[in-house]
Structure 1
Amino acid sequence: MLLLQQTTLVPKLLLFSKSDFSFNPCSSSPSTRVSFMDKHTKSSSLKQSHKQFQSSVLACQASTDTHDTSFRKDDLPAHGVSEVIVGVLGGGQLGRMLCQAASEMAIKVMVLDPLANCPASAIAYDHMVGSFDDSATVQEFAKRCGVLTVEIEHVDAATMEKLEQQGVDCQPKASTIRIIQDKYLQKVHFSRHGIPLPDFVQIDDLEGAKRAGDLFGYPLMLKSKRLAYDGRGNAVAKSEEELSSAVNALGGFDRGLYVEKWTPFVKELAVIVARGRDNSISCYPVVETIHKENICHIVKAPAAIPWKIRKLATDVAHKAVSSLEGAGVFAVELFLTKDGQILLNEVAPRPHNSGHHTIEACYTSQFEQHLRAVLGLPLGDPSMKTPAAIMYNLLGEDEGEPGFHLAYQLIGRALNIQGASVHWYDKPEMRKQRKMGHITFTGPSMGIVEARLKSMLKEEGSESRTAVTPRVGIIMGSDSDLPIMKDAAKILTMFGVPHEVAF
């Protein structure tokens, strides 16, 4: 089956040649992806010629003394797409993938992370070992960077505000980080901007929780205001009698709690949104996220939803990000209810697990897009370059070596599957439910990539099934067309014609 779609090609990168210390644009084919290598001149003859270069290798070493400035890599000239050194607070897997995207454009990325062997340390331009929520350390780190961004929102927002007052370029802005890192303030902010949300209320004591239960009914979702992610900081009370245990599970009222009305959603959706320095906004296709024990487990792109739902989800995500300040990539997580409503769940001010598939599936990955945004480069094309993709999170299934063994078995099977791309984060410790890597499957249809995922997982009967490319696609504008078009699907099945149905 051949699906044709008219698209407008845009250049992948804007390239520059250095001449007389000024940048002049040079041409680039829209279909060509260009990688840069650092070029450092070694003689006067090389300074006079643009035809010969000698590559130099920069040694990478993590500094354990956060105040040692006797030699710094940022003292060296940067000859990439941007002269600005990007500083990232955090060096986890998101920081690692930012560094990978940066390397293709010779953009220098420095990370601040307390772990000497954090995932980003091996490939970052430089790694400063220190805490990203320690004020003095962050201020010292900021001196080495041209722009400061985050790969985790649990940083010291007060220090970022202070740095902004001193003229440090922080993207996104400290005001955004402050709003996002407090889930209750998030709800208040978005509610004031007319964005649809589940009903919520702050609770300060058990009587307040009981009143919320009377107001919203049960089950009732209790949440921590801060340091809540990947299911942490959430507790469900199925009745008034369970309120006390739910509060205790979250650490008590001193932690700062609020209550959300239970949302009986039919799907969880997400939209990656990029915002440029000029306030331009670009949205990626809506995806469906499937969670395992409250942790993102599978992402399907694009989401199998009617066109009007896709538009509504994109509009809500666009409006949410427009209400915040600063440039970068944002992830907007949404609920789709059975009556067709889109409700905002939460927003992350950084690249996100729901956007990992964009590395292989989209013309511009979320990581390249984040770098473009914070550096003031033109935003890239967010559209998909493959009809379908599935991202599968490699979560720790056991502790220590047994967990590594299970993960490597899965990776071994993935490497034998067409369209599979393996990403391993190189974390030194294996723990249950820890994000250790991910695998992305791309293909000509969702049915085929689902079959490839099942093949890797070796689900019952999957090995005996062969993925067949659909010969016919039944595409409907909305699910209201299904009662009529389902007869067409029945006829195709009767004659043994491979097909697929999409809204």
Structure 2
Amino acid sequence: CGVLTVEIEHVDAATLEKLEQQGVDCQPKASTIRIIQDKYLQKVHFSRHAIPMPKFMQIDDLEGAKRAGDLFGYPLMVKSKRLAYDGRGNAVAKNEDEIPMAVNALGGYSRGLYAEKWAPFVKELSVIVARGRDNSMLCYPVVETIHRENICHIVKSPANVSWKVLKLATDVAYKAVSSLEGAGIFAVELFLTADGQVLLNEVAPRPHNSGHHTIESCFTSQFEQHLRAVVGLPLGDPSIKSPAIMYNILGEDGNVFELSFGEPGFLLANQLISRALRIPGASVHWYDKPEMRKQRKMGHITLVGPSMGIIEARLKSMLREETEDDQPPAAPRVGIIMGSDSDLPVMKDAAKILREFNVPAEVRIVSAHRTPEMMFSYASSARERGIQVIIAGAGGAAHLPGMVAALTPLPVIGVPVRASTLDGLDSLLSIVQGKAECYKGTELCKKA
């Protein structure tokens, strides 16, 4: 064959190594599969490369598990080294007395276990990273993953976090994948803690559930990107075309049964799909698996739209969670952007005034030099999304209004923001020397 790749990492790594010795081109490399299929080896490998993650240790018996509890505190995560995915292979001990129960739930110490310090996360994030055969790498925008019973339930793209968190998450993902060998798609799952840390959870060397939304929402889907990467084609553009929410269709019935009309689990899924097909921007993907089990991924639905608020309203409608008082939010007509949240004290006044006049607006952190791809995507898609005017704050990134104006036919109002140096004069000069079509702020502003 030309190239051999994997659908899932739980394969015989020794066989892959033998195939490589015989000249078969395996992507990613067998060494990467061997590391990733053992979650403990993953932790050891990434810790050697200084990737931030929760503390961990191997446990071989009750004494070792108690020692982990003394070191890490409770609640304590107990995890299987192998065959751990989709919620399987994890157990929580809330105190020392619960350690035996957690261990037994995972099949005992002989299965191969390790303990991990509890990560008090406020959000779970994911970054899909594409790596080419020439070691070139591209990261998809950071997404938020929402889990139910340890299984991915909803994915929101892009994640609603600060630019600093976006950069931290992308940097951790990039560094983690850089330490591995071979080409393909890698999914990097992360924890965001209350104090702003981004910690590695685990990596999957394949197209991943947190990247399914890319089929509809990005210029290059993760599946196409994986094929491009492993065969040596140029990597495609991972930028977002539209915000999106991916909703997993999970098996609802507690028993294993053959799919057929009349079974309760299938009927629930069928009703959900029927509602989805009536919703603008919804795409249904049914996996046609031969049997349904509780919490098994049977398919997914991706919703796209002009703004995250509208998509969330459509999701509520699909799930029939709306009330009589719920009104789908109006599509934003004004975009308020700035390069940093430090500009928010000035720019928030624009949002306040627009709200007083019932003009729907959206507020985004879009940096011209920290996240240029996001700026390009935002500006070039603004008119298509219904935005009629953009108000761009020029603080530390004095050139943001001009760069955005160059990417859209919409009027752009530049707002110079006083900075710690130059008193905002650089921002003012950058704005007034911009293209003629750009509406310009003409004085240093205390308010937007």
* TM-score category of the 2 structures, normalised to the smaller one: 0.7 to 0.9
1:186 is matched with: 42
CA shift, 1:452, in A, is: 1.0
Read off the aligned partner of 2:14 and give its amino acid letter.
Answer: A
Contact 1:157–1:174, Cα closer than 8 Å, also in 2: yes
Find the residue that maps to 2:8 and give its secondary structure.
coil
CA contact (8 A) 1:171 1:326 kept: yes
Question: TM-score by structure 2 length?
Answer: 0.77
- The CA deviation string for residues 368-408 of structure 1, in whole angstroms up to 9 with x for no partner, is 0101111111111111112x111111111125421111111
1:180 and 1:463, CA in 2 relative to 1: closer, same or farther beyond 3 A?
farther
Pairwise CA distance, 1:502: 3.1
**Residue 309 of structure 2 is aligned with which of 447, 457, 465?**
447
1:198 is paired with a residue of what secondary structure?
A: coil
1:235 maps to which of 58, 83, 91: 91
Report how far residue 482 of structure 1 moved.
4.7
Residue 378 of structure 2 is matched in structure 1 by none
Superposition deviation, residue 306 in structure 1: 1.1
1:175-254 superposed matches below 5 A: 175-254=31-110
Q: Is the 8 A contact 1:454 1:462 kept in 2?
A: no
Matches within 5 A, 1:28-39: none
Question: What secondary structure, in the 3-state scheme, does the structure 1 residue paired with 2:192 have?
Answer: strand
Report the CA distance between 1:480 and its aligned residue.
4.8
What TM-score does the superposition give when structure 1 sets the normalisation length?
0.69
Match of 1:157 in 2: 13
2:187 is the alignment partner of 1:325: no
Give 2:180's aligned amino acid.
Answer: L
Give ranges in structure 1 of 5+ residues lacking alignment: 1-144
1:148 is paired with a residue whose SS is coil
Determine if the alignment matches structure 1 residue 422 to structure 2 residue 277.
no
For 2:301 and 2:345, the matched residues in 1 are separated by 36
Determine if contact 1:451/1:462 at 8 Å carries over to the other structure.
no
Segments of 5+ residues of structure 2 without an aligned counterpart are 258-262, 366-448
SS in 2 for 1:150: coil
Quick one: percent identity of the two aligned structures? 82
Question: Quick one: distance in 2 between partners of 1:217 and 1:466?
Answer: 45
Once residues 88 and 68 of structure 2 are traced to their aligned partners in structure 1, the CA distance between those partners, rounded to angstroms, is 21
Alignment of 1:136-175 (within 5 A): 145-175=1-31
Q: Decide which of 460, 466, 477 is 2:328's aligned counterpart.
A: 466
Instruction: Work out the CA distance in 2 between the residues paired with 1:286 and 1:418.
Output: 24
Q: CA deviation at 1:484?
A: 5.3
Q: Amino acid of the residue matched to residue 442 of structure 1?
A: V
Residues 383 and 462 of structure 1: CA distance in aligned 2, closer, same or farther (over 3 Å): farther
Please say if residues 455 and 462 of structure 1, whose CA atoms lie closer than 8 Å, have aligned partners that are also in contact. no
Report the equivalent of 2:354: 492
Classify the secondary structure of the residue corresponding to 1:422. strand
Residue 290 of structure 1 aligns with which residue? 146
Give secondary structure in 2 for the equivalent of 1:259: strand
Take 1:475 and 1:224, find their aligned partners in 2: how far apart are those partners?
45
2:418 corresponds to: none
Would you say 1:391 and 2:246 are equivalent positions?
Answer: yes
- What does 1:336-485 correspond to in 2, within 5 Å? 336-386=192-242, 388-398=243-253, 399=255, 400=257, 401-461=263-323, 464-482=326-344, 485=347
Query: 3-state SS of the aligned residue for 2:291?
Result: coil
Deviation (angstroms), 1:473? 2.9
Cα distance in 2 between the residues matched to 1:209 and 1:233: 16
Corresponding letter in the other structure for 1:228: A
* Structure 1 counterpart of 2:144, one-letter code: E
* 8 Å Cα contact 2:310/2:328 also seen in 1: no
Contact 2:250–2:298 under 8 Å retained in 1: yes
Which residue number in structure 1 is paired with residue 377 of structure 2?
Answer: none
Deviates more, 1:271-280 or 1:475-484: 475-484
The answer to whether the aligner puts 1:314 opposite 2:314 as a matched pair is no
> Take 1:182 and 1:304, find their aligned partners in 2: how far apart are those partners?
32
Output the aligned Cα RMSD: 1.6
Change over 3 Å in CA distance of 1:483–1:237 after alignment to 2: farther
SS of 1:147's equivalent?
coil
